[in-house]
Amino acid sequence: MTFTAPDIDYAGLSPIIALTTGLVVVLLAGLVGRAQRRLVSLLSFITLGAAAGLAIWQFGESKDLVAGALRVDDLGLVATLIAIASAAFVIPLSWREEAADDAPGPAGHGEFQALLIASVLGMAMLAMSQNLITFFVGLELLSIPLYVLCGSALRRRQSLESGLKYLIIGSLGSATLLYGMAFIYGGSGSTDFAGIRDGIGGSLAEDPLILIGIALMATGLAFKISIAPFHQWTPDVYQGAPTPVTAFMAVATKAAAFAVFARFFEIALGPAVGDWQPALAALAAVSIIVGNVGALTQSSLKRLLGYSSVAQAGYMLVGIVAANAAGVQALFFYLTAYAFMNLASFAVITIRERETGFGDDIRSVQGLGRERPELAWPLTIAMLGLAGLPGTAGFIGKLYLIEAAVEGDYTWLAVMIAVGTMISLAYYLRVIAAVWMRPAYHADPTPETGHRALPAMAGGSPEAGTDDFAGTQVVRGESRIGGIRCPVIIGLTILAAAATVFFGIIPSPLVDFVSGAGDSIVAGLE
Amino acid sequence: MLNALLWLPLAVAVLVALAPRRFAGPLSVMGSLGTLALALALVLDFDSGLPGLQHVVDESWIPELGVRYQLGVDGISLFLVVMTALLWAASFTWSAFRMPDRPKNYFLMLGVGEFATLGAFLAQDLLLFVLFFDLMLVPFFFLIGSYGTGERVRATIKMMVYTLVGSLLMLVGAIATAILAANETGELSFAMADLRATVLPEGSQDWIFCFFAAAFLVKMPAFPLHGWMPDAYLAAPPPVLGLLSGVLSKVAAYGFLRIVLPIFPDATLQFQELILVIAVLSVLYGSVMAFTQTNVRLIAGYSSIAQLGFITLGVFSLTADGANGAILQMVNHALVVVPLFLIIVLLAERFGGEDLRQMGGAALRAPLLAALFLIVTLATLAMPGSANFIGEFYILNGLFDDKTAFAVVAAAGIAMAAFYALRLYQRAMHNPLPSGASSREIGLTDALVLVPLVGVILILALTPGTILKRGETSVQDKVGAVAAAGDERLEASVAP
């Protein structure tokens, strides 16, 4: 018996190698030295920068790696780049976050950032996978660090609860997905996407094994990208997790999961498009309605964005339902725009959490327009963009999605996007109204001394109301009210908002960036 | 040239936002006057003999989605553009004399509003139009929400949700139109000229028509869809309200003429009666409500509903006369309603409120104010000799041929307009002065804005032909599409 080692294309694998190396280095660097925040962050940035550089270098390539387990193409690389960019955005956001600061022992930043990089690594792998095995490994590599990160604010009950909740629900999702994979393997006799494609042939009406497999896998993925009705964990986990982690989770997870979603459904299950299309269309519609209606009554900004992300996932799913190259392009255009808008919003929330005693309650941004225009404008632009108003990348993204949906003969789904957007106006505009049209809220229990409130205490659960203020604990004595204390974060926030407007007016560069993703799907079908 | 006209307001607005606060007012006023000058230059440079578009700008914008940056002006939009520039200049000047709190944001938003409105009138790409149509609303959201009075936040959110409900559906409709057309031509394009060239299947036309009609009727607002109007009108700052009522509503009426009639001719024919019914109901409802209100703002607001109903009647008479009258009436109404709201501010200052019952005798020592108000009032009620009379005459003339019943009912609306307009004038200006109030002449700065506006009303009364002449050829073009569809239908019904 002879064993031939698989031919490994190191160039194609290089982003993943860079992330793996960086992960180890950052983790070890976190163990030494006192001024570790700077060192660790520097190393993390180098890692992410190198990975991004290598990914851009590989852009436009289209080749199988490691005996077909992974595939380097624009689809995977676009998702990887979005994940890397959001991780790089989130690191400065986490600098003063207690998750990193207050962890027992000196390893806070090192652990935090190493976990972040591990998750990015999982995302890169997931986005490039074209085999059920790498698919699952990538997904778990993505998820497990996130479970830990959610619970990383060790002294906050909500954070721990959020981590535990995410762990349980996430594992349930993973298990469902794995179960579905088993069915697919059983039905088609292959774990390889191309093999599955060949194995399932035409219609699946007489093939319950594969139909069940598809249903279970769609459910598992729906858990991960918080598509209703599998979204119940989203608001709770989003609210409880430290805000930078929430930001990362909302953006990067979606990018990677949607990449594999598109690849798996459109390539592996391509022949059965007629079977899964109506089901996914229904999921998208339900998600749009449930997410938008759920967000209407929220007073916690993180919960609001949690529900909004359920709705946004519904919009994005339309890109997959359309089942054409334009749909995948639209999906990734929207994802990129969504990344800018969401990161800007979460950055503002993070800053206000530290400056006011209201945590992420909507009162924390009241009167921002008068007091802190440099924060008010990015938040306003982000909200207008999420609402899909013209002049922002969000509008072009919706336009793109609607066009893809109509082209794919799903006009009613296009109308659903419009209807969802209408509902969403009510809550996005409420935030903008709070920022510009209401006076700053000064009934802060400890306004001038500026004791830092515990973020999740602010909203608690929606039922608990805001009585938790009374129990505000003093975590740190120094005043943080007023003044710009975090120029890097503010700079990044403004940058993200500026990108939202820029790509709303001149969308062509972004269209070029994502157009390869659509081509990858077409190439995969051949 | 159109590029300069379109982008100047935005450039000035951004400049104002960056410049120190004390320059905000003067800079904005100069910018808006510059825009007005460009608009007037456009009129001088306009060749009224040509039916098609002039000064066309055509650039690729998002080639992947088939969206182009296409601007152009023809007889329909020419005077609407001038009117927009004029009224915005008036609004800017008025606001600059009464500096609002946080002026930089205020003038920024006002400038963005002018940019978007001009864009909607100039756009020749369907998607570009939809984009500007939606964008128009955003600055008004901020202007009403931040600078309004009373229940401003609730009112402004209500207005946004109401009006965007229509326009988001319109977005879907616009995209569907282009894709259906692309299925036949093989090339995705949102250019209105291309879309007119391909006739869509009738079934698709019908639902797309409904989406567009919803957007436009809400924006106007027309009778059953006016729910946002009273709240927004009560909350909005008056110079902004003038623009909302005078200019923004016209974009909707213009949209019917520019987009719906030529691109969906079969559906237009199909729904003609329905829209006419809505329009007549708007005329009657608006007139009756205007007569029963005691808040002067709402009197003007409901009268706007009636006037817009009239304009819609003209557009949907589907005759050249009716459409011509509608265009003239769009300009007329805008010119009347902005001074009206500004006069309301003056009245409110004199009587300490906007309740008509607490007013009276304002004309006593204010002959100039009284004269201005009287001219505006007479124009509102379409006194013979005013351009409004000619506009309404044309509209009714266009309607009488085919839809006599509608014309007769609508004519009753004219009589009611006389009622509410005169009631407003009399109660406010004549009657004894209530105790505590005094009659004061209009101030110099206020007169500086109002006198030129009223002057334009007078000029237009003397020379309505300037608008009619330039509109004629273009209108024929638009109505012609529907007429052709009607002929086809007739033939089809005769043939078997």
Q: What is the mean pLDDT of chain A?
A: 84
Give the model's confidence band at A458: pLDDT under 50 very low, under 70 low, under 90 confident, else very high: very low
pLDDT tier at B420, thresholds 50, 70, 90: confident
How far apart (Å, rounded) are the C-alpha atoms in residues B132 and B117?
7
Where residue A520 falls among pLDDT bands split at 50, 70, 90?
confident
- The length of chain B, given as a count of residues: 496
| A150 in Cβ contact with A162 (< 8 Å) | yes
Q: Is residue B442 over pLDDT 50?
A: yes
How many CB pairs below 8 Å do chains A and B form together?
A: 92
Residue B345 pLDDT > 60 = yes
Does residue B55 carry a pLDDT above 80? yes
pLDDT band for A454, please (50, 70, 90 cuts). very low
Mean pLDDT, to the nearest integer, of B358-387? Answer: 85
| pLDDT of the residue at A305 | 93
In terms of Cβ atoms closer than 10 Å to its own Cβ (0-12, 13-18, 19+), residue B469 is middle
Query: Tokens 């008004």 identify what position?
Result: B140
**A395 in reach of chain B (CB within 8 A):** yes
**Cα(A39)–Cα(A25) distance, integer angstroms:** 11
**Burial of B102: CB neighbours in 10 Å, binned 0-12, 13-18, 19+:** middle
> Are A425 and B138 within 8 A, CB to CB?
no
- pLDDT (0 to 100) of residue B140: 93
Exposed/middle/buried for residue B296 (C-beta within 10 Å: 0-12, 13-18, 19+)? buried
Does the distance separating the beta carbons of B142 and A403 come in below 8 Å? no
Nearest CA in chain A to B103: A370
How many Å apart are CA A214 and CA A286, to the nearest integer?
A: 19
State the Rg of chain B over Cα.
22
Mind listing the pLDDT tens digit for each residue in B78-126?
889 999 999 999 999 998 888 778 888 899 999 999 999 999 999 999 9
pLDDT of residue B415 exceeding 70, the answer is yes
Q: Is the pLDDT assigned to residue B353 strictly greater than 60?
A: yes
Which range, of A73-82, A190-199, A444-453, A468-477, averages the lowest pLDDT?
A: A468-477
* pLDDT at residue A483, as a whole number: 40
Query: Does residue B111 sit at the A interface (CB-CB below 8 Å)?
Result: no
Give per-residue pLDDT as tens, A385-430.
999 898 899 999 999 999 999 988 898 999 999 999 989 998 999 9
Other Cβ atoms closer than 10 A to A440: 16
Q: What is the largest CA-CA distance in chain B?
A: 78
Interface test with B, best of A437, A502, A508 (most B CBs within 10 A): A437
Beta-ladder partners of A71: A64
Phi, psi of A415 (to 5 degrees): -65, -35
pLDDT digit string (tens) for B455-471?
988 888 888 777 777 77
Residue A153 has pLDDT above 80, yes or no: no
Burial of A2 (0-12, 13-18, 19+ CB in 10 A): exposed
What is the ipTM score, two decimals?
0.89
Q: Answer yes or no: do B175 and A507 touch at CB < 8 A.
A: no
The nearest alpha carbon in chain A to B112 belongs to A391
pLDDT for res B361: 79
* Annotated domain spans of chain A: 10-469+479-525
Model confidence at A256: pLDDT above 90? yes
Lowest mean pLDDT across A79-93, A442-456, B297-311: A442-456
For the segment A509-522, the average pLDDT, to the nearest whole number, is 85
Instruction: Map tokens 């008056």 to a residue.
Output: B238
> Burial level of A202, CB count in 10 A (0-12/13-18/19+)?
exposed
Q: How far apart are CA B493 and CA B496, in angstroms?
A: 7
Mean pLDDT over B42-64 rounds to: 83
Strand spans (E) along A32-128: 63-65, 70-72
Q: Is A205 on the interface with B (CB under 8 A)?
A: no
Can you read off the two tokens belonging to residue A211?
Answer: 């139909």
- If you search the block for the tokens 């007013």, which residue do you land on? B359
B368 interface with A at CB cutoff 8 Å = no
- pLDDT per residue as tens digits for the range A118-137: 999 999 999 999 899 999 99
What mean pLDDT comes out for the span B3-21?
90
- What pLDDT does residue A136 have? 94
Three-class DSSP category at B87: helix
Mean pLDDT for B363-380 is: 87
The DSSP code for A484 is -
**CB nearest to B161's CB, from A414, A426, A515:** A426
Question: What integer is the mean pLDDT of B267-280?
Answer: 90
Window 23-62 of B, Cβ < 8 Å to A: 62
Residue A447 binned pLDDT confidence (cut-offs 50, 70, 90): very low
Our CA-based measurement puts residue A161 at a distance from the nearest CA of chain B, in whole angstroms, of 36
Confidence (pLDDT) at A33: 60
Per residue, the 3-state secondary structure of A162-229, as one string, reads HHHHHHHHHHHHHHHHHHHHHHHHHHHCCCEHHHHHHHHCCCCCCCHHHHHHHHHHHHHHHHHCCCCC
Task: Name the minimum distance, in Å, from the CA of B101 to any CA of chain A.
Answer: 11
Higher model confidence: residue B475 or residue B10?
B10
Contacting residues of A for B152, CB less than 8 Å apart: 437
B104, B128, B157, B159: which to substitute to probe chain A, counting the most A Cβ within 10 Å? B157
Q: What is the pLDDT of residues A340-356, one digit of tens each?
A: 999 999 999 988 888 87
Alpha-carbon distance B168 to nearest alpha carbon in chain A (angstroms):
5
A407 → closest Cβ in B142, B172, B179: B179
Model confidence at A460, in pLDDT bands (50, 70, 90)?
Answer: very low
Residues in chain A with CB shorter than 8 Å from the CB of B146 are 369, 436-437
Flag if B168 and A418 touch (Cβ within 8 Å): yes
Write the DSSP assignment of B195-251 as a string of letters.
Answer: HHHSPPPHHHHHHHHHHHHHHHHHHTT-GGG-TTHHHHHHHS-HHHHHHIIIIIHHH
Chain B nearest CA to A407, separation (Å): 7
**Alpha carbon of B164: minimum distance to chain A alpha carbons (Å):** 7
Task: Give mean pLDDT, residues A166-182.
Answer: 93
User: What is the arithmetic mean of pLDDT over B290-313?
Assistant: 89
Task: Tell me whether residues B172 and A395 touch, CB distance under 8 A.
Answer: no
Residue A271 banded pLDDT, cuts 50, 70, 90: confident
CB contact under 8 A, A415 and B64: no
Mutate to test the interface with B, among A293, A415, A423, A501 (most CBs of B within 10 A): A415
A146: CB partners within 8 A, 6+ apart? A119, A166, A170, A245, A248, A249, A253
- Report yes or no: B342 and B242 within 8 Å, Cβ to Cβ: yes
Give B133-168 pLDDT, tens digit per residue: 999 989 999 999 888 888 888 899 889 888 888 888
Residue A484 has pLDDT above 50, yes or no: no
CA distance readout (Å), B445 to B31, B94, B362, B450: 18, 8, 19, 9
Judged on CB neighbours under 10 Å (0-12, 13-18, 19+), A345 is buried
CA distance B119 to B125: 11
Residues of chain A neighbouring B131 (CB-CB closer than 8 A): 390-391, 395
- A172: Cα separation from own chain's centroid: 19
